[in-house]
């Protein structure tokens, strides 16, 4: 790996670790924009999945008292069903298409949170929860993007900040852990990238720790505003790169 590639790889590890520590999801949203410029899609997604699990565990511990098992299960069980579909789709997607998809999701996600008056849904919605979990599982298997749709949905629920994070954190750890295992079993390319996990681990964990520190100091409104700005700017930048790549 040359100096330029090492800089991009390190930048992706820092960005992905920090946003996971801050929000409980989003490693792929920020890291893949860097890593897909220097790595094949299967390797980049595999590393993202592994790092999401590792950097997400301290965050899950942070909100452990807000965990409601039955609520989380409504997301996780359908998500597990969607993972094989996502992994299958990954083999048909080229780097440029994957970059464009991630950029579109980031811009849509950022635009979604710019809305001033989000609905506050307090009634039980088990079928919607399961559908969101299923699509999250597919996106997790395809690009380690399991948290995008669940985050948009959880933002409209009348749950406290820690409750929302507990759903997202545990959902992502589970879905991306299974995704990483699936890729390790089915892709030699992914297995060949295992050493890169060790390279990214130290800086990702430090960045995740800083993200968790910031999370603990934010109000719900500050949390949403910061996340919106970071994701929208990242998506816009990535969209430009996806248009001109190759």
Q: What's the Cα-to-Cα distance from 31 to each of 65, 73, 102, rounded to whole Å?
A: 29, 27, 11
What average pLDDT score do residues 204-219 get?
Answer: 89
* pLDDT of 242 higher than 70: no
Lowest mean pLDDT among 23-27, 66-70, 122-126: 23-27
Is 157 strand, coil or helix?
Answer: strand
- Unique residue bearing structure tokens 């993202």: 48
* pLDDT of 245 higher than 60: no
Band of residue 2 on the pLDDT scale cut at 50, 70, 90: confident
User: 45-48: long-range contacts at Cβ-Cβ below 8 A with a sequence spacing of 24 or more?
Assistant: 45/90, 45/142, 45/143, 45/144, 45/179, 45/183, 45/190, 46/180, 46/183, 46/184, 46/187, 46/190, 46/193, 47/193, 47/196, 47/197, 47/200, 48/16, 48/143, 48/144, 48/176
Contact 148, 109 (CB under 8 A): yes
Cβ partners under 8 Å of residue 36, min gap 6: 44, 95, 98, 99
- Cβ of 61: how many Cβ atoms within 10 Å? 10
**Cα 14 from Cα 243, distance rounded (Å):** 24
3-state secondary structure 78-132: HHHHHHHHHHHHHCCCCHHHHHHHHHHHHHHHHHHHHCCCCCCECCCCHHHHHHH
pLDDT score recorded for residue 244: 60
Band of residue 72 on the pLDDT scale cut at 50, 70, 90: very high
pLDDT score recorded for residue 126: 92
pLDDT score recorded for residue 23: 78
* pLDDT of 171 higher than 70: yes
**73-100 pLDDT, tens digit each:** 999 999 999 999 988 887 777 767 776 8
Check residues 243 and 130 and name the one with the higher pLDDT. Answer: 130
* pLDDT of 131 higher than 90: yes
Q: How many domains does the chain have?
A: 1
What is the domain extent for residue 55?
A: 3-244
* pLDDT of 246 higher than 60: no
> Which residues lie across from 157 on neighbouring strands?
121
pLDDT score recorded for residue 157: 85
What average pLDDT score do residues 42-49 get?
Answer: 87
Q: Residues in the chain, how many?
A: 246
**Among residues 36, 59, 108, which one has the least CA distance to residue 213?**
59
pLDDT score recorded for residue 1: 72
What average pLDDT score do residues 145-158 get?
Answer: 83
Q: Which tokens go with 13?
A: 């590890």
DSSP secondary structure string, 29-85?
A: HHHHHHHTTTS-HHHHHHHHHHHHHHHHHHHHHHTGGG--HHHHHHHHHHHHHHHHH
**116-130 pLDDT, tens digit each:** 666 778 888 999 999
* pLDDT of 16 higher than 70: yes
Mean pLDDT computed over every residue of the chain: 84
Q: Determine what percent of the chain is predicted with pLDDT higher than 90.
A: 23
């Amino acid at each position: 790996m040359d100096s330029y590639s090492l800089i991009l790889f390190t930048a992706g590890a820092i960005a992905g670790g920090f946003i996971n520590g801050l929000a409980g999801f989003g490693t792929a949203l920020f890291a893949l924009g860097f890593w897909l410029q220097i790595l094949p899609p299967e390797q980049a997604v595999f590393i993202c999945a592994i790092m999401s699990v590792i950097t997400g565990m301290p965050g899950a511990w942070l909100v452990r008292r807000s965990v409601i098992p039955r609520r989380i299960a409504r997301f996780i069980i359908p998500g597990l069903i969607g993972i094989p579909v996502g992994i299958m789709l990954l083999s048909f997607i080229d780097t440029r298409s994957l970059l464009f998809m991630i950029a579109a999701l980031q811009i849509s996600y950022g635009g979604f949170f710019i809305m001033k008056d989000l609905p506050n849904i307090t009634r039980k919605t088990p079928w919607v929860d399961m559908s969101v979990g299923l699509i999250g599982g597919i996106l997790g298997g395809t690009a380690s993007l399991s948290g995008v749709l669940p985050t948009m949905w959880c933002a409209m629920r009348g749950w406290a900040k820690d409750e929302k994070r507990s759903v997202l954190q545990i959902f992502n750890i589970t879905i991306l852990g299974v995704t990483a295992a699936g890729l390790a079993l089915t892709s030699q390319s992914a297995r060949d990238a295992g050493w890169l996990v060790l390279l990214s681990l130290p800086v990702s964990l430090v960045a995740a720790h800083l993200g968790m520190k910031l999370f603990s100091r934010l109000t719900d409104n500050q949390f949403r505003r910061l996340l919106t700005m970071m994701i929208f700017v990242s998506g816009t930048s990535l969209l430009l790169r996806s248009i001109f790549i190759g």
